Structure 1
């Protein structure tokens, strides 16, 4: 019989282990077969020594020690031990965790739970309390959380709280807790490379704010605080008018004079470029703050061929760094790029010979590439965006027909490692650009095979529907789109006649487009990204040649300013912005800034949302929102493809 039926193995360990622990917990509560008793400040709890020992090295050592006789109760059937400073109600939480691996953690008990978990070496519970506090840090409580973490010496929580303080410094400045910082705490923040201020003048304003809270008692602290300021990053005009002339500095002129003189000398030398070979990062007062996010520019078209070069932009130092992490599977241009769960996805594209449906993912934390499932359609000139845990690849050109473009849209699920068609756009378009606002996708411009497009449309991922919105003021192919402060920006591109300097923004509330300030350089087929609340335009084609120029748009001033140029002239590139990289220093040639990451967290993706998606083989099942069939279109070449060919 057994040979006919064969053999099957069922893994029921998880189910029955859980049931066994629940049963043991019930027995504990009824006092059955308990062999230990914990005496607390307000009562006692009966437990099973083996269960507590299994999750706590502390209890294991306590219950198995041979250094002293076992303390027993009067009947001699139960080990008795005194636990100081813990109530019966709270110990019940710890014991429940030991039996069920579940704990009721809330804002009221999390600090006590963390202290107790650390005391009893309950690592799983300790990690859960750290995660709870990390996820509930806010500007108002961040300083108190950091003080608590420092007091109990949990390195992971201390790192997360310090990271939050540094990254959200400008928001925390607005809270009452900031005004109550000690001078040493303020100096600790000001000295840190990762302090997130867009300009050093903001750091000075924070110092003035803190002193003015209690001017009479704090003004003398300027002697301690001033050396923490990176004066070499401040404009000479601001330094002379605001810092050197500050009443605090003047009152303690003799004590502050050495710092002021040294700073003025460095500013003077920098203005005259006296030491061009000296690296500003070698000197504290001129060392740029480290960015919390960096922009990756990947691939593109340069010198008549595609490239796989990856450059990283440090917005604090205003410089580009060439990296060695280019995709070894080959170069690609006219591709899409998006970030999701800590990975950078490069989608589709063209290498001068082949049109790709292949997709690759780059993990910055390990500096490694991996292959993911290919799209169902080849797409170059594709627009890619991430929203609600999925990637969307929209439109493009597949290299087949010369008179059409793609209207189809595919959605990628990282959990399934699978692409599926969703509702197509209302217009066939390649070389369009998309952005996300309020969890909806806006697609603007492009080329349909006959003409450059003026139309724009919006996609609702929940309803799986596309809807036209008000057309742009100009036709734009090779355009860049970006969402900023409730508006959609469409900038540059090709109108069928020339590359464009102009830009415009769409306000959904009024359903109207309005003009913005022109760029400094005309460009199409460039990369566009939002970084540090500014819109960056990177590289592109100006109608004559590929360009290396980079510029950024400040919405507040409605103006563009020149930024550091890339090291390589290129168009048809893509860019994305990534934050929370534990080894961010390795990408900007400043490895020392990674040293404050605890060893237990090095090599891990730091939470934004603290984990990488597991890439699994494709599955046959579909999400409820997936459509069963796609809508394919025959495609042609794009406006700039003629130049490529």
Structure 2
């Protein structure tokens, strides 16, 4: 397509939008009414359908009315959403933006959400607005520091505003080094006029949380521009290298900044390549690289005592029992552990009262029902009671000190069978089966229910089932907007978040309270059969 064709195409789309806006303002050809609280909003299905996956799942040819729960949403925000739907732009005021973003998330209108964020980015980085100390502005800056630190308007901030930002406990960064790098960029942008502010701003940096190598290689050149800065650097080096003398040093801020909970994405089948572990920030909807290992694919994982344990897997040639290791989530140090008794890939692992269990899986040419228990104190393995059925690519969860195992594959067949392991009695018991046979799916505990989500049964599944352990019964709930393949799902704030396996695949969130799904983000790279964990560490 050449430039002329593109311009013609854009003009064609613009004319269509103008025509639809005219129909909207003149009240013509309405075919749906949205009922929100005590008000009715007439609109067009085609516009709603094009704008949001939420409406694509709710609307059909025959429906004429749709009741929506918009608790916490102001009427003016709904009006702004319709303005955006029909014009692709909207006239916003600062005090309106946060509520419009909330509605955009509720209605899964990603383009409106991006528009609001772009507006906030422009306004929030304007010094005249920042000096008002508006709480919504501060939240945006704090949650998006890594994004805005290269922005020209950040580089033009006043020293007072930079100090207020860098000194906050709620600044969202992966490391303190990133805070210093932002400060360095700001100072160098106008060195002549800002070098006198350097010392007061450097005191906002928590140098005790920086590595010694970073202090020597990156901080030294900037600090040594002043006597005060040099002294600050020397105190930081003494704090690291002479811990016995810390009480004699000036008070140094060694408090970790308050991180929002993050999700670690671990493992996955990546075609024989080494495995990266990535972190997803639930607040900022952003990804960071955590660590890379030489561990191969399809291992099972648990987190215990601030360590990530990885068991087995395969190396593109054979299944493994020797690849057993742990990664300290604070230091990122990797430690090799005793090998398992059996080779196994596509297994699951669980922790109950400090006891670690690895269940089922695949071993070269056979499916497994065996279960091993790992003693992390003795660094040794032992066999415990085997499952009733052989299975791999299954799902498992811990609920009230018991391990529940669901579905999977036994070689020729997909499974819907369910069994529970009483860890105290070392006994397995058969439970009511799922409605759907499924493998490579997610299972998550929310309150007193267990949800089994998506997966495969020769075809990818969108179905979701809820299990009641107290009654041993199953109920189907609302299906996924996009089918989910893999076991990567977590519970956060009593909601389920599923991470898909395809490159740029959707991140889907389910709210059991209203039986609704919505898409909240995208996966940055492709892998499948990986694990996800919510962590509350300073990653």
TM-score, structure 1 length as denominator? 0.46
Please state if 1:447 is matched with 2:447. no
CA–CA separation in structure 2 for the residues paired with 1:440 and 1:292: 30
CA–CA separation in structure 2 for the residues paired with 1:367 and 1:467: 39
Pick from 262, 265, 270 the counterpart of residue 294 of structure 1: 262
Shift of 1:566: 2.9
**Helix, strand or coil: the match of 2:336?**
strand
Note the alpha carbon deviations across 1:425-459, whole angstroms, 9 max, x for none. Answer: 01110010100111110000100111100111111
CA–CA separation in structure 2 for the residues paired with 1:234 and 1:410: 50
Q: Is the 8 A contact 1:493 1:525 kept in 2?
A: yes
Q: Is the 8 A contact 1:550 1:563 kept in 2?
A: yes
Q: Corresponding residue for 1:415? A: 377
CA–CA separation in structure 2 for the residues paired with 1:554 and 1:572: 23
Count, aligned residues: 323
Shift of 1:278: 6.1
Q: Corresponding residue for 1:326? A: 292
Pick from 507, 512, 522 the counterpart of residue 555 of structure 1: 512
CA–CA separation in structure 1 for the residues paired with 2:409 and 2:418: 12
Gaps of 5+ in 2: 1-70, 73-93, 104-127, 155-161, 173-256
Q: Corresponding residue for 1:346? A: 310
Q: Corresponding residue for 1:365? A: 330
CA–CA separation in structure 1 for the residues paired with 2:495 and 2:531: 17
Shift of 1:287: 6.1
Change (3 A) 1:344 1:237: closer
CA–CA separation in structure 1 for the residues paired with 2:378 and 2:430: 31
What pairs with 1:461-472 in structure 2 (closer than 5 Å)?
461-472=423-434
Q: Is the 8 A contact 1:433 1:479 kept in 2?
A: yes
**Helix, strand or coil: the match of 2:351?**
strand
CA–CA separation in structure 1 for the residues paired with 2:382 and 2:496: 31
Q: Corresponding residue for 2:35? A: none
**Helix, strand or coil: the match of 2:275?**
coil
Shift of 1:492: 0.7
CA–CA separation in structure 2 for the residues paired with 1:527 and 1:232: 36
Change (3 A) 1:513 1:233: farther
**Helix, strand or coil: the match of 1:568?**
coil
Note the alpha carbon deviations across 1:255-284, whole angstroms, 9 max, x for none. Answer: xx98897749959x99xx9xx866799895
What pairs with 1:43-54 in structure 2 (closer than 5 Å)?
none
**Helix, strand or coil: the match of 2:439?**
coil
Change (3 A) 1:467 1:331: same
Q: Is the 8 A contact 1:383 1:433 kept in 2?
A: yes
CA–CA separation in structure 2 for the residues paired with 1:391 and 1:492: 26
Pick from 562, 571, 586 the counterpart of residue 528 of structure 2: 571
Q: Is the 8 A contact 2:503 2:523 kept in 1?
A: no
**Helix, strand or coil: the match of 1:235?**
helix
Change (3 A) 1:294 1:237: closer
User: If you compute each CA radius of gyration, which structure gives the higher value, 1 or 2?
Assistant: 1
CA–CA separation in structure 1 for the residues paired with 2:102 and 2:504: 34
Which piece of structure 1 moves more, 565-574 or 432-441? 565-574
Pick from 235, 241, 253 the counterpart of residue 99 of structure 2: 235
Shift of 1:335: 1.3
Change (3 A) 1:238 1:578: closer
CA–CA separation in structure 2 for the residues paired with 1:389 and 1:260: 51
CA–CA separation in structure 2 for the residues paired with 1:517 and 1:287: 37
Shift of 1:526: 3.9
What pairs with 1:522-537 in structure 2 (closer than 5 Å)?
522-537=483-498
Note the alpha carbon deviations across 1:122-149, whole angstroms, 9 max, x for none. Answer: xxxxxxxxxxxxxxxxxxxxxxxxxxxx
CA–CA separation in structure 2 for the residues paired with 1:260 and 1:518: 47
Shift of 1:474: 0.4
CA–CA separation in structure 2 for the residues paired with 1:337 and 1:531: 19
Pick from 464, 469, 473 the counterpart of residue 512 of structure 1: 473
Note the alpha carbon deviations across 1:573-598, whole angstroms, 9 max, x for none. Answer: 2222233x3xx1xx3xxxxxxxxxxx
Q: Corresponding residue for 1:337? A: 301
**Helix, strand or coil: the match of 2:310?**
strand
CA–CA separation in structure 2 for the residues paired with 1:366 and 1:515: 43
Q: Is the 8 A contact 1:306 1:352 kept in 2?
A: no
CA–CA separation in structure 1 for the residues paired with 2:386 and 2:327: 28
Shift of 1:470: 0.8
**Helix, strand or coil: the match of 1:373?**
coil
CA–CA separation in structure 1 for the residues paired with 2:443 and 2:304: 19
Q: Corresponding residue for 1:77? A: none
Change (3 A) 1:277 1:431: same
**Helix, strand or coil: the match of 2:365?**
coil
Q: Is the 8 A contact 2:296 2:313 kept in 1?
A: yes
CA–CA separation in structure 2 for the residues paired with 1:354 and 1:575: 25
Note the alpha carbon deviations across 1:215-274, whole angstroms, 9 max, x for none. Answer: xxxxxxxxxxxxxxx9899434889xxxxxxxxxxxxxxxxx98897749959x99xx9x
Pick from 330, 333, 347 the counterpart of residue 382 of structure 1: 347
Q: Is the 8 A contact 1:480 1:527 kept in 2?
A: yes
Shift of 1:521: 1.8
Q: Is the 8 A contact 2:260 2:283 kept in 1?
A: no
Shift of 1:421: 0.7
CA RMSD of aligned residues (A): 3.6
CA–CA separation in structure 1 for the residues paired with 2:507 and 2:435: 25
Note the alpha carbon deviations across 1:13-36, whole angstroms, 9 max, x for none. Answer: xxxxxxxxxxxxxxxxxxxxxxxx
What pairs with 1:5-24 in structure 2 (closer than 5 Å)?
none
Change (3 A) 1:264 1:466: closer
Please state if 1:456 is matched with 2:423. no
Note the alpha carbon deviations across 1:596-641, whole angstroms, 9 max, x for none. Answer: xxxxxxxxxxxxxxxxxxxxxxxxxxxxxxxxxxxxxxxxxxxxxx
Shift of 1:483: 1.0
Change (3 A) 1:490 1:336: same
Change (3 A) 1:439 1:233: farther
Shift of 1:501: 1.1
Q: With CA pairs under 8 Å and 6+ residues apart, which has the higher RCO, 1 or 2?
A: 1
Gaps of 5+ in 1: 1-200, 203-229, 240-256, 588-645
